Amino acid sequence: MTEHLDKLPFDEYCQTVFNKDTLAEKPECLKGYRGLSCTQYILGPAAAAYLGELGAEVIKIEVPRLGEPMRHCSPYNESWFYPVSRWNPGRGTSPAFQGANHNEYFVTLDYRKPEAKEIFYGLVQKSDFMVWNYRPGTFDRWKIGYGNCKEVNPRIVLAWCGGFGGFGPGRNWASYDILGQAKGGVFSFTGHRAGAAAGFPSKHTTWIMDYSIGMLVSTAMLAGLYWRDTVSNLGNYFECSQVQGSTRYTEYGLPLWGRNGIVRMRWGNWDTEICVNGICKCGLSTYPHSDHPAEKEEGYICVQAYTDEDYAKLMNLVGRPDLAKKYATHDDRVEARAQEEIYPAIEEFLKDKTKEEAARIFTGAGIVSQPLLTIREAANCDHFLERGSLGWYDDPYYGDVFTQKTMYKMSECPPRLKHVHRPVGSDNEEIYQRVCGFSADQIREFEAKEII
């Protein structure tokens, strides 16, 4: 079999070893590891869910009855997954909860109640790792922080991830994704270019900082587990500050200021390092008769032609050979004054075209371009569907759900999607019986008292 694969062209080799239809037939690389997700909103849940996609048994602990707040943050109250729990059949879970809670088991526990602490310690004793993102010091006040958990299980690897970190002047400040980006300096150079008539910063619509910092937390967790299992035989405690993490995305802004005292500014949809490499507005809508504002507006396209040869080709294509000569070298055209002349010339060429027409013209001329896709267009993109990174999933609880799947591929022990999420407390009986050894009667009693 190996000899046969080695003879395949690279694309066929990748398609074979990463076959999305054979994921369930292969082992999981973190199978046998158990983790607790004591988390809410996005940052902490995402970190735990990434490990769940790799095969770890992740147990999410939520507030009894209603679960964590993110279940109730549906966009404009338009869509819900019913029920939120068997105690609240008339309420649902928001689609916003889905992306950060794949593959987990869902139990409930009120940490503050004395009886709950013993139940919690029973879970800790039989777990390998834990992620939590309540405000700093909260679990210590409840006597279930790392010091307490370490006494119960010296091998536990515990990650606290939150806004400003567990120490420092801002340790008690609350933070969400948008606040993290603001504090870390990211907003200072995103948005319309400074000095423009409508120049202002712009947030990313999704919680991109939470999802990306969550990935850093899961990477650190893997390092902690490796250290425990191969070096120390002991657990580890680490923290990850969302705000500090956002500074990792300031790119060259910090060293530029440190070396030259230059403060990086907003430059809109154009690139400060290479030109041409930016987003240009087309003049026509792809869906002029649509009632949806995002579809009815004019399209946009990303254009890239930063080599001298490609730039000259692009300028001749848009009917501006004079600009090809005026800014013949990259050092000339990367300057602000040059870009303020080049991009309007491209948009003048695009004013009577849709983004698809523009893409065909650019592709035909050998210019790299990419129309900006709406969610519907991305959802129907053949490339994503064939690779299995997006698509329909027959969830055992909610039926057909269109969702993101795992983004990366592994040939021998691939990550996979098992379910998008579950109702609050749906796994109380299985987990508390299998992991903690409680009887069904005990579990019903705990539920009646709202301990779980």
The pLDDT score that the predictor gives to residue 190 is: 83
List, for residues 372-381, the tens digit of each pLDDT value.
999 999 999 9
Q: What is the Cα–Cα distance from 82 to 423, expressed in whole angstroms?
A: 8
Which band of pLDDT confidence, cut at 50, 70 and 90, is reported for residue 130? very high
The pLDDT score that the predictor gives to residue 198 is: 53
Tokens of 450: 């709202």
pLDDT at 337 > cutoff 60: yes
How far apart, in Å, do the first and last CA atoms of the chain sit?
A: 51
Does the fold of domain 268-379 match that of domain 2-248+393-448?
no
Which band of pLDDT confidence, cut at 50, 70 and 90, is reported for residue 116? very high
Which band of pLDDT confidence, cut at 50, 70 and 90, is reported for residue 268? confident
Q: Is the distance from CB of 5 to CB of 13 less than 8 angstroms?
A: yes
- Percent of the chain at pLDDT > 70 equals 97
CATH number of 2-248+393-448: 3.40.50.10540
Entry pTM: 0.92
Question: Strand order in 157-162's β-sheet?
Answer: 105-108, 57-62, 34-38, 129-132, 157-162, 236-241
Q: Where are the domains of the chain?
A: 2-248+393-448, 268-379
pLDDT at 235 > cutoff 80: yes
The pLDDT score that the predictor gives to residue 418 is: 94
Lowest mean pLDDT among 6-15, 242-251, 337-346: 242-251
The pLDDT score that the predictor gives to residue 197 is: 55
| Closest to 307 measured CA to CA, from 270, 271, 276 | 276
List, for residues 90-101, the tens digit of each pLDDT value.
999 999 999 899
- Percent of the chain at pLDDT > 90 equals 76
The pLDDT score that the predictor gives to residue 191 is: 81
pLDDT at 290 > cutoff 60: yes
pLDDT at 165 > cutoff 90: no
Pairing of strands 129-132, 157-162: parallel
Top pLDDT among 228 and 206 is at 228
Q: What is the Cα–Cα distance from 297 to 23, expressed in whole angstroms?
A: 40
**Class assignment of domain 268-379?**
alpha beta
Over residues 211-239, mean pLDDT: 95
List, for residues 10-65, the tens digit of each pLDDT value.
999 999 999 999 999 999 999 999 999 999 999 999 999 999 999 999 999 999 99
The pLDDT score that the predictor gives to residue 332 is: 95
Q: What is the Cα–Cα distance from 418 to 105, expressed in whole angstroms?
A: 11
